[in-house]
Structure 1
Amino acid sequence: MQRTPINPWPWSLQLGYNQAELITAATRHLICAGQTAVDANGTPQHPGDMRRQIALTLDNLETVLHGAGMGLGQITRLTIYTTDVDAALQHFDVLGARFGVANAATPMTLLGVTRLAIPTLMVEIEASAAD
């Protein structure tokens, strides 16, 4: 897979993402359902702790990706839903650290929502990946 960043404006790079990426020569495409801060039994974890919920959500996303033989570096699109945009932004360094190691500046969207399916959850991340 070849990724070509498209950034008509450089401001998004300071926030850790590309405006777009042109993906060519991909052979597999994975679409992940929204991942949240739940344990292996689906029980919500870390109520009221946005930082730990983001970290566990990313752990769960990586587990799904690894099931397909992929990692964060293969994500081509990320959508983040949160019940508190300001709190999520305060802890975006968690995402930056994880995606930085993967050398990825994946195009993403952050959306504020009234609530998620389980009321104690504060963040949900959907992803698409390719290789």
Structure 2
Amino acid sequence: MEKRVINPWEWQNERSYVQAVEVKQAEATLYVSGQTAINAEGQSSRADMKTQLQETINNLETVITEAGYQCSNIVRLNIYTTSTEEFLGCFDMLQAWLNLHSIQQASTVLEVAGLFETLNVELEAVVVR
């Protein structure tokens, strides 16, 4: 698999995403449903945004690794949140995780009126191998 990042500018680097990712000769593609802070028993978290974001990251990583993929090969990450302001208050946690795995992904952040039950953040990914 061959990945190429397309960044005509530099300003997005501070925001931990890229403008586009081209993938050639991919062996397989994994489309990951939106992951949230739902525990193994299926209970939605009632915690604050920071705690939910950490639980969501953990769940996303679990699905990716269980499927036999690597987080470093995430090429698209959509972020849904009920509060952009609260999400940006803990954005450094997401940035640290992206940096830990050397993830360079195309990304969109969307504020939505609501998510399932008590959830405040959801991460949806496309991963290649």
Do they fold alike, i.e. is TM over 0.5?
yes
Rounded Cα–Cα distance in structure 2 between residues aligned with 1:81 and 1:89 = 12
With normalisation by structure 2, the TM-score equals: 0.95
1:5-41 per-residue CA deviation (whole Å, 9 max, x = no partner) reads 1011111111111111111121010001110001001
Match of 2:30 in 1: 30
Secondary structure at the aligned position of 1:59 is classed as: helix
**Percent of residue pairs identical:** 39
TM-aligned CA deviation for residue 66 of structure 1 = 0.8
Runs of 4+ off more than 2 Å: none
Letter in 2 for 1:21: V
Corresponding residue pairs, total: 129
**Match runs of 1:1-131 below 5 Å:** 1-45=1-45, 47-118=46-117, 120-131=118-129
Letter in 1 for 2:41: N
Task: Structure 1: state its 5+ residue gaps.
Answer: none
TM-aligned CA deviation for residue 91 of structure 1 = 0.7
**Aligned-pair RMSD on alpha carbons?**
1.0
Task: Structure 2: state its 5+ residue gaps.
Answer: none
TM-aligned CA deviation for residue 69 of structure 1 = 0.9
